Structure 1
């Protein structure tokens, strides 16, 4: 027998067995049922035999954490064959009567069953010995040992699965922390300085500037607006995909305010695409309930998408209507039909369709539209033919 200066891994195995609530009772049942004086759960590897739990009524002298030389044990043979070994009476057994292990440790009866984990890994054995012969080769005793070995395996598997779950939770907590840091950087460290730049360009734009400087200011303003849009889209994606969804503040929106908002957004995008024609038809006959800011964002994304991807020689047509039951917004553009395979993915985050497409953007615009529709208990639909592509946003009024 050797000391118990165990490595951290083996110490964990000993602790895992000791934490099984029924392990002491299980070993007691083994001894009382078989009449044997020593029972143990052993961790057996290709190099070591380590006692994890022990019941010793014969002063064998082995405690949890104690070791036997592997080559002096029968458990090493069980590890290799993964089959139980049962000896009623060593002196009368043709195979083990001259075996070195009984001679070394002074036992006449022996039983040991393998403990195999769910993944097929051999953990060790449930074993018992006694200096006197015992009746062990019977269905009741062998069935009990097999059941107890499976029960120990079950607890060890549960331990591993719990450890994996805890590790996964720890990773998720870390990811959540990184996500919060990421959102904080976008929301404050980037958005606030960008807001200052945009304000400065607005002030400069009101001054009398020479043509070259005016062009530079306009370029900075447009780039800043684009950066602000990308930041807002990324924040919305983080909220929708990783948080509790895009936040909404629903209120009653009267016809005049709804009309004013649609016209204002149209005017803003018209300034960005001054060469394009945007036709608007408003049939707003009843107020609606919704988040005006989010609906404005949805319309801006849909109109911007039509202006970006539609035929530059044809107008974009916008039809908005409300009738007391629903609000419907339709944005039409001419151009090639969107392939069916792409239509199914258009509302997924970061999807850009053609990988060779050089048009800028994160591929979040339509995803955010879909999330805004979902938040309003509405829907976004697409119909694309060789003549025109139509996006229709519908929400209950």
Structure 2
């Protein structure tokens, strides 16, 4: 029996956190007639039952182990291929295999559970002391759907754990503001719950459809599950990248004119397609982390390109000015003892309503502009975190119907 201090204990707990795993195993036994079904964690030297449905007294409980060398799952781990046996006595390869004789089964099916990163987690398997008809598209299709579904859930749980760990680490750092902690709490309790809710709902519907042999409906639900899992995965990826933004790299001299030129070149296909006019002042040299400053201006320019006016010639204007010391004292709570520059990125698009001025900088904040895409609702959050890393400030100035101006204040070199 696996103990809590065993390094694989966490994997067993992750499987047991999946709300539909018991239902999946019950459906497998009920719809196929197999007497024992399990989700097993399989490594090079261990076979551990994570969850079981035992209707034949096989005797293995969650946390129980079988000798790895005596299992066919070990061979599946090595090959990555499913094994399906209707009648072991009539199977050319497995009729003389020691495993069926050792455990007393005639029929067997097992499919690998492979995580998104390509690593082998274990198997979804079933055995019975009687022969069975398992090699048909309905049964194999059901096992494929369920093994894929379990992999999605395991990926989601692991991603959530990593994100929570990152959040806790960040929360312990003095540089993390109360504002970011507020956002992390909101994300955990709201943003990330929606795709998880969809996963639970569609998973339950999939189990019911499979139980009723509604193959077409099951396939449609599997697509929806995959889409919800992908959305969840993208959100976690964006959040992880956001949490890793820090100011640990040394500052250097950065010519913003060169940065803007590089960013404009990256966005040139969109700029030329929409015939956007770009106007720029001579930009200053600042202190900062080059990759972060480039990302800051890429996000600001990408946002401006996306929303530049459609009913008039699209136009983006980038200007800069040095700020007087008394202006810095009014803007920053703890300004550095140096000069600052104010850079303005202005478009002539639809503008931002006053009520949205602070929300646009929140992680996953989206104005009602369509469906979720990777990075949507994260770009401006990146901008604010990068500016804060550089002891500066960023704000948005509204002009609904006439455009938006983002104002960035950074220390000069």
TM-score if structure 2 supplies the norm length? 0.47
- Report which of the two structures shows the higher radius of gyration computed on alpha carbons: 1
